[in-house]
Structures are given as C-alpha cells and as structure tokens.
Amino acid sequence: DPTSLGLGLDEEVKVTKQRRPNPKLDEARLLSQPGIPKLRRTAKQKLRFKGKGHEFQDAERLLNFYQLWLDDLFPRAKFADGLAIIEKLGHTKRIQTMRKEWIEEEKPKPFYDRTNTE
C-alpha cells in the first residue's frame, strides 16, 4: 500500500499561484537610472527657457518635460498622482540625504565663495 509508506503520493499538491507584485513608485525606482539621474542628465539640454514675455509657455515646457519623464518612469500613474507620490517619498531619510547631496554638488566651494564675493 503506497499510502501507508508516507510518501504522500496521493496527497494533492497545492499550486499557489503567486500574484505578480504590482510595480511601485518607491525610493529604489526613483533613484534608479531612469529616475532622478536621468532627470538631472537631460534637464540641461532639454530645458531651454525663453524668459521674459514667455512665462506661460516656459511653464508649459517645464511641466511637459516632467510629465514625459514621469510617464517613462512610472507609466501607470497620472501626472498629479505621480507627483504626489514622489513628494511623499521626499520625506524619507534616504531621499533627503540624496537631495542634500545634489544641492551640495552645485554649491560653490567655501574658499572660492569668499574670493568671489570680495
């Protein structure tokens, strides 16, 4: 009797199908290459403002730039929703240190600063 051997041949094998996890817009995604690094890389070439007299077109250009970037990064979210998610992520420790770093990068060096102002 095969069942008495305890091989468990007759027991039904349960196949639990793992649900595919939904993609999330989280810190990792935001800091990955198509995330903020790309934003910083492309902004310089993409964002050219016309300046005085074209304020509203400039704003449109700016908003479109971010919308397309966000659509690449996290296609399922609407622009406003995506912005809200990112804004919330901005309160986390990791992103905050990164933000500080990015700002530090562009700051003039203290020494240089002093000579510059005088």
Partner 1 sequence: EVTSVGQDVQVIDPDVRMHVYSLVTALGGFNGADADRYMLGDDALSCLRDIRRWLKLYDQRNNRMDVVRCLGEANLVMGDILPILSIWWNNGQNSKHLTRVALACLELLVPLTWPAEYHSQMTANHHRHTPYIQQIQVQYKRGVLRYGGSNLLRAVIRIALPSMAIPRSERESRDEGILKLMLYFLRNVAIITTNERLAAEGDEEETSRSATINAFQDQDAFALILTMCSNVAEDFNQQDIVLLEILFHIIKGVNVDKLFLNEDERKAQRSDELSQLLKKENQVKREYAKNAPTRHGRFGTMIWVKRDEHKVSTVSGQNILRDDQASLQKMDESKKWKRPGRTRRNKDETVQYNDFNTPVHLSLLATKNLRTFVEEFLDSGFNPLFTHVRKAIEREAERVSAINARQFFYTVGWFLEAERARRARQAIQRKRDGKNTKDVEPDSFGLVASVLNQETFISLNRGMQSSLDNKEWDDLTAQMRCFTQILLTVQEMTFSPLEEDQEIADNIQNRIFYEETTHDRVLSIVRGYKDQGFGYLDAATELSHVFLRMLERYSKTNADLQIRSKRRAKKRKKGEAAQSAGQEDGEGEAENEEDVNSEDEDLIDSAQVSKERAFDFKRFAAKFCNQSCVNTFVEFTSFYRELNSEQLKRAHRYFYRIAFKQEMTTLLFRLDIISLFHRMIKGPGAMESSKPIYKEWEELVRQILRRLTKKIDQRPALITELLFSKMNSTIYYLEFGHERQTMSTA
Contact residues: partner 1, CB under 8 A: 36, 39-40, 42-44, 47, 49, 51-52, 55-56, 58-60, 62-64, 66-68, 71-72, 75-81, 83-87, 90-91, 95-96, 99-100, 102-103, 105-107, 113, 117
Residue 14 beta carbon to partner 1: minimum distance, rounded to whole angstroms: 30
Alpha-carbon distance of 29 to 76, in angstroms, equals 14
CB 1 within 8 A of CB 60: no
Q: At what angle do helices 36-46 and 55-73 cross, to 10 degrees?
A: 150
Residue 15 beta carbon to partner 1: minimum distance, rounded to whole angstroms: 29
Residue 58 beta carbon to partner 1: minimum distance, rounded to whole angstroms: 5
Nearer to partner 1, 3 or 92 (CB): 92
Nearer to partner 1, 4 or 117 (CB): 117
Nearer to partner 1, 8 or 108 (CB): 108
Alpha-carbon distance of 21 to 35, in angstroms, equals 20
For residue 39, give the nearest of 78, 75, 70, 84 by alpha carbon. 70
> Buried b / exposed e across 54-77, counting CB within 10 Å, b at 16+?
eeeebeebeeeebeebbeebbeeb
The DSSP letter of residue 18 is P
Nearer to partner 1, 12 or 101 (CB): 101
Residue 105 beta carbon to partner 1: minimum distance, rounded to whole angstroms: 7
